[in-house]
Amino acid sequence: MDYIRIKELLDQPKTGETVTVKGWVKTRRGSKQVNFIALNDGSTIHNLQIVAETEKFGEELIKKITTGACLSVTGEVVESKGSGQAIEILGENIDVLGESDPEKFPLQPKKHSLEFLREKAHLRVRTTTFGAIYRIRHAMIFAVHKFFNDRGFFNVHTPILTSSDAEGAGEMFRVTTLDPKNPPLTEDGEVDWKEDFFEKQANLTVSGQLEGELSALALGNIYTFGPTFRAENSNTTRHLAEFWMIEPEMAFHDLKDNAELAEDFLKYLVNYALENCEDDLNFLAKREEDENKNKPANERPALSLLERLKMVRDNDFAFCTYTEAIDILKNSKPNKKKKFNYPVDEWGVDMQSEHEKYLVEKHFKKPVIVTDYPKDIKAFYMRVNDDNKTVAAMDILFPGIGEIVGGSQREERMDILTSRMKDFNIEEEHMQWYLDTRRFGSCVHSGFGLGFERLMLFVTGMTNIRDVIPFPRTPGNCEF
Ligand code: ATP
Ligand code: MG
Ligand code: MG
Ligand code: MG
C-alpha cells in the first residue's frame, strides 16, 4: 500500500519521514501565500493539517482544494507549531483525486442540523458527528461478538425470510413475488398464496427468537445478531422499520440468570465504548453539552454523556415487578403541573415510554429491570407464573431511552404453551416445528432481545434513532 492512514500516523508520528496520506478536505484556510488544509480519512475523528504553499502548487490547483474534495498528499511529517495538533505535513506533492464543486456540495464547513443531514443521508457520513457514530457503531458490533465468544456462546444466523410471526403483533412486512395488481385467486376470491414463491405467506422476520430457542436446546448458549423488520406505523424517535437486534438464548437459565447476563452484557458494552471510543465519545459529549447549553434545566439530561455511561457501568441495576412499578407511577407527580399524558392507573395496561423514563430517571435514578408483567400484554411464549396472572418477563429500562431490552423465561411446559397459543389465536398447525422443542427434551430456558440502535442511542447520546443507523427506514422513508 502506498499510503498511511491518519490514525496510524497520529498514534506513531514519524517525524522527519516523508509519507503519503489520502482523504477528504474538511476545510482550507490561510493566506494568499500559505494554505492550511484539514484532511480527514475516516480512520479517526482527528483531522491532519497539511501546509501547502500557493507558489509551490499554483493557484489553479489550490482552488480545487475545497470542502469535500478528495486528495492524495505526500510530504514530510513535522512537529506542528499550531495548537491542537502534534504534527502536520509539509505538502510536497498534492493530487486532487476527486474535485468537489463548492457551489454544489451540500455540506459546508458550518454545523448543519441533524434534520438537514437526515435529508442528505447519503453524505452525512462525511460529517464529524456521523463519522464518530459510524465508528462507535462498529466498535459496539465487535464488542457484541467478543462478549459472547468469550463466554462460549455460538452465533446462529436465524432466517430473515420466514413464515412465522414470532411476536404475534402483526407488524410484519409481507414478502411476495405475486403481481399486486393481478394476484391469482382461489375459488373463494381470496389471494391464492399457494401460487406464491414459497407456496405460503412469507414475511421479513420480526425476531429470531423462536429459531434461537430451538438452537439453544441443542447448543446450550447461542445468540443471534441480525436485521429485524417491523412495520411500526408510529413515527417515534425510538422505532425503526429496519433495525438490528441481538438475541441470546440460553438453556437451563431462569429469569434471574437471564437478568444477570443482560446486566453484565450491557455493562460490558458500555465499558467497551468508554475504553475504546474515547475520542469519538468526547466529541459527542461536547456536542451534547453545546446543544443543551441554552435549554431550561428540566429539558437537559441530569448527567452528562460520560457520566451516564459510567453510571450504568458502575451501579447495580434496580429491580422491581410490574405491579410495584404501577404503584410507583400511580402515586407519582411526574411534573408539578402536568400529569402523565397517558395515566397508568389500572393494573394490566402496558407502560408507555414516558412512564419507563420516569421510573429510571426520576424514581430509581439508575437502570431498572422490571419483571413479571401481566400475561395478557406479553407474548405467548413467556413462562406463566404461579399466580396465573403474570409471566416471567423482564424489560430493562435505560435513562433517556425507556425499554432497551425485552426478555423472558420461556414457557417450557407443552400443555400451558399450547393453551397460551389458543388464547392468542396462534394456529398450532403452523407451529409444529416450534412445539417439537417442547415435545422432545424440553427444559428451562430464557433469552432476551437488545435493540442495537437503542443501545447506540444510549452510548452516543443522540436522541433520534434515525441518527444512529447509517440508512434509516421509517414510514415514508426508503430513499435508496
Ligand atoms: P417497544 O415497546 O419499544 O415498541 P417492543 O416491546 O415492541 O419495544 P420487543 O419485541 O421486546 O420490543 O423487542 C426487543 C427489543 O428490540 C426492544 O427492547 C427494543 O430495544 C428493540 N426494538 C423493538 N422494536 C424496535 C424498533 N421498531 N426499532 C428499534 N428497536 C426496536
Ligand atoms: Mg413495539
Ligand atoms: Mg415494549
Ligand atoms: Mg419488549
Q: Could you tell me if residue 183 is inside a domain?
A: no
Q: Could you tell me if residue 330 is inside a domain?
A: no
pLDDT tens digit sequence for 45-64: 999 999 999 999 999 999 99
Confidence of residue 299 (pLDDT cuts 50, 70, 90): confident
Residue 85 has pLDDT above 70, yes or no: yes
Q: Could you tell me if residue 181 is inside a domain?
A: no
Residue 169 has pLDDT above 80, yes or no: no
C-alpha cell at 205: 422476520
Instruction: For residue 451, report the distance from its CA to the centre of ligand 1, in Å.
Output: 6
Contact criterion met (CB below 8 Å) for 365 and 351: no
Q: Could you tell me if residue 394 is inside a domain?
A: yes
Pairing of strands 48-53, 87-98: parallel
What average pLDDT does the segment 65-88 reach? 93
- Closest C-alpha among 279, 144, 289, 125 to residue 223: 144
User: Does 240 sit in the ligand 1 pocket, CB within 6 Å?
Assistant: yes
Average pLDDT, the chain: 95
List 86's β-bridge partners, or say none: none
List 71's β-bridge partners, or say none: 23, 96
Burial profile 91-119: b = 16 or more Cβ within 10 angstroms, e = fewer:
beebebeeebeeeeeebeeeebebeebbe
Ligand nearest to the CA of 239: 1
What average pLDDT does the segment 181-186 reach? 94
Q: Are residues 101 and 142 in the same domain?
A: no
Counting the structural domains of the chain, the total is 2
Measured distance CA(447)–CA(445) in Å, rounded:
7
Measured distance CA(72)–CA(5) in Å, rounded:
11
Contact criterion met (CB below 8 Å) for 173 and 478: no
Residue 167 has pLDDT above 70, yes or no: no
pLDDT tens digit sequence for 301-327: 889 999 999 999 999 999 999 999 999
Q: Are residues 56 and 159 in the same domain?
A: no
Measured distance CA(452)–CA(448) in Å, rounded:
12
ipTM for the assembly:
0.99
Q: Which of 206, 225, 240, 245 to mutate to test the pocket of ligand 1 (most atoms within 8 A of CB)?
A: 245
Q: Which residues contact 411 (CB under 8 A, 6 or more apart)?
A: 380, 381, 382, 383, 384, 417, 420
Q: Are residues 213 and 245 in the same domain?
A: yes
Q: Are residues 287 and 230 in the same domain?
A: yes
Q: Could you tell me if residue 393 is inside a domain?
A: yes
Instruction: For residue 449, report the distance from its CA to the centre of ligand 4, in Å.
Output: 8
Instruction: For residue 95, report the distance from its CA to the centre of ligand 4, in Å.
Output: 53
Per cent of the chain over pLDDT 90 is: 86
Instruction: For residue 403, report the distance from its CA to the centre of ligand 3, in Å.
Output: 6
Looking from the CA of residue 465, the nearest atom of ligand 1 is: 29
pLDDT at 82: 77
Q: Give the CATH number for residue 460.
A: 3.30.930.10
Query: Which range marks the domain in which residue 446 is found?
Result: 126-170+206-317+366-467
Quickly count: other Cβ atoms within 10 Å of residue 428's Cβ. 12
pLDDT at 84: 79
Q: Are residues 238 and 137 in the same domain?
A: yes
Q: Are residues 55 and 150 in the same domain?
A: no
Q: Are residues 308 and 417 in the same domain?
A: yes
Q: Give the CATH number for residue 14.
A: 2.40.50.140
Q: Are residues 312 and 430 in the same domain?
A: yes
pLDDT at 168: 62
Mean pLDDT check: name the lowest of 186-190, 296-300, 346-350: 296-300
Q: Are residues 166 and 60 in the same domain?
A: no
Q: Are residues 145 and 253 in the same domain?
A: yes
Q: Could you tell me if residue 193 is inside a domain?
A: no
Residue 170 has pLDDT above 80, yes or no: no
For atom 26 of ligand 1, which residue has the closest CA?
A: 239
Q: Are residues 267 and 376 in the same domain?
A: yes
Q: Are residues 241 and 266 in the same domain?
A: yes
C-alpha cell at 69: 474534495
